[in-house]
Amino acid sequence: MLPMARACPRENSGAVRRPRPRGVCPSRESRPTWSVRGAFIHAAGVFVFPFVVLAAVFPGLMLMTHLGHADEGYTFLVVAPFAAFSFVIFLCAEVWAFKWLLLGRMKEGRYPVDGPLYRRKWFFDQLMVLSLEVTATLYTTLYLRPWLRALGARIGPRSEVSTIRLIQPDLLEAGAECFLADDVLAGAAVVRGGWLEVGRARWATEPSSETARCSRRARCSAMES
């Protein structure tokens, strides 16, 4: 607070400018965060998610239905484990395909909320949440790391990834023997003033300790979407 009878100095009054702290993004003009077009696209995307799940479970269900009609017994139950396994494989393949078709390789920076890249990223984030909800058995296993690496993540040897809640695979770097616990937001984006800010999340293990530390570096460069 200013003392009595004092005023803020003007820009050209010779006031000394203090250097901006590292890691603090420069202020920018605010952008609109809502539009009719964006609301329509988000609403349409909500109706797509059920079809993603149905497309993954459809082949296994059709196989079980075919065997159920071909035999009056219960032979269709024999293929039930294979149907469940195919559901996990097809759903992971769908998420992988959507990721590289919609986003490609994500780069750190700033993106407008009313731009197309924000909407594509929102759709992919919801797919990752969906994969956690319907294929929770895949998480906390040895098979999660190859899938995250296929999505663009860099995970070192002997690292364990649990049920992480939100992740941007391209911007995740985990060293050797790291542990990402349950419900961790690994490199979660920040939405402020109509801008989406994404930065790289690095996890490294201290040589003298088995606990992992996380350092997040955000480069505040304007990116055109």
pLDDT band at residue 141 using 50, 70 and 90 as cut-offs:
confident
Rg, the chain, Cα only: 23
Q: Which residue has the higher pLDDT, 218 or 126?
A: 126
The count of other CB atoms within 10 Å of the CB of residue 170 is 20
Mean pLDDT in residue range 210-220: 37
Which among 134, 142, 146 is positioned nearest to 87, based on CA atoms?
A: 134
Per-residue pLDDT at 12 exceeds 70: no
Mean pLDDT in residue range 182-192: 79
Per-residue pLDDT at 157 exceeds 70: yes
**Chain mean position to CA 138:** 17
User: What is the model's pTM?
Assistant: 0.72
Question: pLDDT tens-digit profile of 21-56?
Answer: 444 455 567 777 778 888 888 888 889 999 999 999
**Mean pLDDT, rounded, of the chain:** 77
